[in-house]
């Protein structure tokens, strides 16, 4: 069995009061657009008319994937530990943006193929030295899946103890766009041609090869499970074609929701992690703030599935949590206007008739 989580549905008890506070600010109704939706969501999650975002934490989960040996990425596998080192040294995009916005960054090793040296910003929760090549065998054991979910949950618990009130998630792992596409096909029944994209920069021939490898991997698993894609139980998706960092993000999202905390979903890979989490506890989606729509072809359809309006659309496809941290100041602004902007009554301004 998979690790269990219990996510409570958000209460609508304060909904009318929250909306009233938004509508009676000194502005025409709805004129702050998406900021109003974000403010409403954060207030609803925190169950208060004075929401607070005082301390954020960026968690980047890192792992390698056996399927990289089949050519699903434009970059070699050794780039994963090299980029983790870059994160820790402060040189990656997510490092720069976290520093700019004073958000603490932690990298969580759940499956990098090599051992990484100790570092203050590195959390060592290695489950395995990469997943298995899912084109020839199941990617993970059930025990490894549960360890990955638990690793994500434990990182959120650690952040919660230090006073963090919002979590931002990102990932690093060469080949994980292909792994996420495979997971998406397995969960939805969509053909690999619909879910596979360019990832780190594949050309059309490379995308076609990726789709073919995903298709072959799914056919292998279908034969083993005697079930068509789209009919698999969550544990079957995770063991057959899962990625350790994707599953760790799912566990982190579920624990965030259990604790009543909002979290920010980055791009395609992070949204696939949310889809998997929602298969375990559907209400987890209520706690998710969608940062951006990436340039990965399946991401727009996945956002539409969640009926999500992402904050940004900048054609990003970097991963790392880069879109999540870029969206964070806008989330802060939404809470600031909700708390600090005058009402018509307090400002002595006439309302519309």
Residues written for the chain: 353
Which pair of tokens denotes residue 331? Answer: 């989330």
Cα–Cα distance for residue pair 44/49, rounded to 1 Å: 8
| Phi, psi values for residue 221, rounded to 5° | -70, -40
Tokens describing residue 251: 């566990």
Q: Which of 36, 150, 236, 320 is catalytic?
A: 320
**Is-contact 309 33, C-beta < 8 A?**
no
What torsion, rounded to 10 degrees, do the Cα atoms 265, 268, 269, 270 define? 10
Asked if 320 is an active-site residue, the reply is yes
Question: Nearest to residue 277, comparing CAs of 154, 152, 90?
Answer: 152
Letter string b/e over residues 110-122, b meaning 16 or more CB atoms within 10 A of that residue's CB? bbbbeebeeeeeb
Torsion of CA 158, 159, 160, 165, to 10 degrees: -170
Q: How many CB atoms lie within 10 A of CB 4?
A: 10
- Of 67, 239, 246, the C-alpha closest to 140 is 239
- Positions marked active-site: 320
């Amino acid at each position: 069995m998979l690790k269990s989580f219990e996510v409570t549905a958000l209460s609508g008890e304060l909904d009318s009061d929250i909306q009233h506070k938004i509508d009676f600010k000194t502005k025409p109704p709805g004129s702050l657009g998406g900021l109003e939706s974000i403010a409403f969501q954060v207030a609803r999650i925190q169950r208060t008319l004075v929401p607070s975002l005082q301390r954020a934490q960026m968690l980047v989960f890192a792992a390698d994937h056996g399927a990289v040996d089949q050519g699903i990425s434009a970059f070699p596998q050794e780039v994963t530990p090299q980029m983790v080192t870059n994160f820790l040294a402060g040189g990656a995009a997510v490092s720069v943006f976290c520093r700019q916005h004073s958000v603490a960054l932690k990298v969580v090793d759940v499956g990098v193929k090599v051992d990484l040296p100790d570092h203050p910003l590195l959390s060592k929760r290695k489950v395995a030295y990469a997943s298995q090549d899912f084109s020839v065998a199941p990617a993970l054991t059930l025990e490894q899946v549960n360890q990955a979910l638990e690793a994500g949950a434990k990182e959120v618990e650690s952040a919660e103890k230090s006073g963090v009130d919002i979590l931002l998630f990102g990932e690093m792992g060469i080949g994980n766009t292909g792994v996420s596409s495979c997971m998406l096909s397995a969960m939805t029944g969509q053909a690999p041609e619909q879910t596979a994209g360019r990832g780190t920069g594949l050309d059309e021939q490379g995308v076609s090869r990726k789709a073919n490898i995903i298709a072959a991997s799914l056919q292998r698993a279908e034969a083993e499970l005697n079930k068509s894609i789209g009919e698999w139980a969550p544990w079957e998706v995770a063991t057959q074609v899962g990625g350790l960092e994707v599953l760790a993000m799912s566990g982190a999202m579920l624990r965030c929701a259990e604790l009543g905390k909002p979290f920010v979903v980055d791009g395609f890979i992070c949204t696939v992690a949310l889809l998997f989490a929602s298969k375990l506890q559907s209400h987890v989606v209520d706690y998710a703030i969608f940062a951006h729509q990436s340039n990965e072809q399946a991401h727009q359809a996945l956002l539409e599935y969640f009926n999500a309006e992402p904050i940004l659309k900048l054609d990003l496809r970097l991963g790392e949590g880069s879109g999540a941290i870029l969206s964070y100041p806008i989330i802060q602004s939404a809470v600031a206007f909700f708390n600090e902007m005058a009402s018509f009554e307090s400002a002595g301004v006439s309302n519309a008739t």
